[in-house]
A and B are shown apart, each in its own frame.
Chain A
């Protein structure tokens, strides 16, 4: 890609790109500030905790709560970023050319529409990757400094869909899908609505599929009563069950109640006699394996969406 190609790509979608650039910069800066503030608040909390040996009083520190809330907003922004980027940058690529009647010139100047598509899409792909990755890194820091968790070293599956490597790959899938929909319905707003619907359906499907896959490989994880909840390293939990202490056999809650009926718990105990509650899920240290698996699936979907876009554009009347 030459500098000229970049300049033209920018000029053709200047308004959208400027908006996204500004929004991404704001989000990243906000994330960094939240991460920094949360770290400071947490450091002072930890000092208080160590001094007292209890979190009574320290836990009431309002800044922990504030940074946790702000972090939630930042993560929501990060979660939405790939979808917004993909849809708003992808839909107009073909739809606007046809709606603005410029496709006639563009598609005859270029000998092949695939070449035209590559010239148009490549800069957008790079922009989408860079912005989504930047937002993903910002969000990663917010998660790692979550004041109510110990995720500094390994957040595991915490905030799985709003941070890290999945954001850029999601942005690419949505971008290519939106281009294909924009080519099929060459009016921008209807195409945007349809693309949004298709995107939701696709990602709900992927999430359900991934959850089913993970569930099939889930295993019992013992509760680890840390200060900030039962799990320290961010496992992905799908269910809770009972493990029979004597046999080590895991039984689902439903099966347990079916077999034993409602069991009165002894005073001060959380588990029925002879059983220990365990979580069923994937341990946090397997995050990268699953992130890569999901990335591979999304990569295949991106290739399919890109192929679909190219096919539709090849056959499209301008």
Chain B
């Protein structure tokens, strides 16, 4: 048997439970998503006019209701797509080092291998391969389902289902894998490491998400209250002051600009101020990243998450190099 073949088989045997569980999870999720795709497409084919939520067509009540029910359930599945990279990354990553230490096999493995980094790289490479293949399936099936679920939207330039479809799923999975390996190597016990890795991933990915939101403000445009925001990503409400300055509600409060009334999109301190433009506090506005920037933002976040993955992998390698084998 070739070296690659025996590497694949041995690596699989060492992680068979996790790999089989992950593959089974992806198979079930994908099958369910594809079933919904088929159902939604069939409904659309029956009467395309009835599945456009923006248009009301007579005689559509039943079909529309059925479409709504199905697409709501499909939306729930999309959250599983969102969750899958974190779950799979951690489940595959955490035991890589921690189980070796817990089972006292690390001593053997680390003396048989030329270097621990080499050992880690070989073992991690298999998991990366498995994870990329499985998450690619999830990512692609997510895209496939999104189209019939949102038939009126141009999803190549739409933030809908952000992180629940497309390549970001794979990149996030790799970061979770790196985090799992690192925490597993640090704690050297599988279940506590998994628990800590879950907490750490919540913190890290929330941090990245908040950071990305802040960074995206640079790409955002200010839109009027009633403007069409289809496909865009709302970053929140802002107040446009008469001076042209854009501030958020917290800043408004800090400046003591109390308002009591919003009339249309205008903020007034008191009802009697309405119409007196010299007393206007400001305009209610939305900060929106246009849908046309979807691909670019996905690439940017992928780069940030990818960089984090590299850092986590390096930290894991450094940790394994210095780790006592238990």
Q: In whole Å, how far is A213's beta carbon from the nearest beta carbon of chain B?
A: 22
In the complex, A187→B14 CA distance in Å?
Answer: 13
The listed residue (B18, B249, B260) touching A189 by CB distance below 8 A is B18
In the complex, A189→B65 CA distance in Å?
Answer: 42
In the complex, A91→B194 CA distance in Å?
Answer: 13
Are B95 and A189 closer than 8 Å at their CB atoms? yes
Residues on B with C-beta less than 8 A from A187 are: 17
Interface-located stretch among A50-58, A117-125, A143-151: A50-58
Asked if A2 is at the interface (CB within 8 A of a chain B CB), the reply is no
Are B18 and A193 closer than 8 Å at their CB atoms? yes
Are B194 and A189 closer than 8 Å at their CB atoms? yes
Asked if B195 is at the interface (CB within 8 A of a chain A CB), the reply is yes
Asked if B196 is at the interface (CB within 8 A of a chain A CB), the reply is yes
Residues on A with C-beta less than 8 A from B21 are: 190, 193-194
Q: What residue of chain B has the Cβ atom nearest to residue A187's Cβ? A: B17
Chain A, 82-95, contact with B by CB distance < 8 Å: what is the 0/1 string? 00100010011000
Asked if A60 is at the interface (CB within 8 A of a chain B CB), the reply is yes
Residues on B with C-beta less than 8 A from A262 are: 58-61
In the complex, A48→B271 CA distance in Å?
Answer: 13
Interface-located stretch among B105-113, B136-144, B156-164, B183-191: B183-191
In the complex, A261→B253 CA distance in Å?
Answer: 52
Q: What residue of chain A has the Cβ atom nearest to residue B189's Cβ? A: A15
Main secondary structure of the interface of A (DSSP, over half): helix
Residues on A with C-beta less than 8 A from B60 are: 262
In the complex, A100→B189 CA distance in Å?
Answer: 11
Are B17 and A88 closer than 8 Å at their CB atoms? no
Residues on A with C-beta less than 8 A from B59 are: 261-262
In the complex, A99→B260 CA distance in Å?
Answer: 65
The listed residue (A48, A192, A194, A261) touching B191 by CB distance below 8 A is A192
Taking A62-B250, A190-B17, A190-B21 as contacts, is the C-beta distance between A19 and B192 under 8 angstroms?
Answer: yes
Asked if B103 is at the interface (CB within 8 A of a chain A CB), the reply is yes
Asked if A211 is at the interface (CB within 8 A of a chain B CB), the reply is no
In the complex, A96→B99 CA distance in Å?
Answer: 12
Asked if B262 is at the interface (CB within 8 A of a chain A CB), the reply is yes
In the complex, A45→B12 CA distance in Å?
Answer: 59
Asked if B215 is at the interface (CB within 8 A of a chain A CB), the reply is no
Q: What class of interface size applies to chain A in its complex with B?
A: 20 to 34
Asked if A16 is at the interface (CB within 8 A of a chain B CB), the reply is yes
In the complex, A62→B251 CA distance in Å?
Answer: 11
Q: What residue of chain B has the Cβ atom nearest to residue A193's Cβ? A: B21
Are B195 and A88 closer than 8 Å at their CB atoms? yes
Asked if B259 is at the interface (CB within 8 A of a chain A CB), the reply is yes
Asked if A257 is at the interface (CB within 8 A of a chain B CB), the reply is yes
Q: What residue of chain A has the Cβ atom nearest to residue B17's Cβ? A: A190
Are A99 and B102 closer than 8 Å at their CB atoms? yes
Question: Which one of A88, A187, A188, A194 has the greatest number of beta carbons of chain B within 10 Å?
Answer: A188
State the B residues within 8 Å of A (CB): 17-18, 21, 58-62, 65, 91, 94-95, 99, 102-103, 187, 189-192, 194-196, 199, 237, 248-250, 253, 259-263, 267, 271, 284
Please list 27 pairs of residues, one from A and one from B, whose beta carbons are closer than 8 Å in the complex, sorted by A's number.
A15-B189, A16-B191, A19-B192, A20-B195, A56-B262, A57-B259, A57-B262, A57-B267, A58-B260, A60-B249, A60-B259, A62-B253, A88-B191, A88-B194, A88-B195, A92-B191, A100-B102, A188-B190, A189-B18, A189-B194, A192-B194, A193-B18, A194-B21, A254-B62, A257-B61, A257-B62, A261-B59
Name 15 extra pairs, CB < 8 A, besides A91-B191, A189-B191, A193-B18: A56-B261, A56-B262, A57-B259, A60-B267, A62-B248, A62-B253, A88-B191, A88-B194, A99-B102, A187-B17, A189-B190, A190-B21, A261-B59, A262-B59, A262-B60
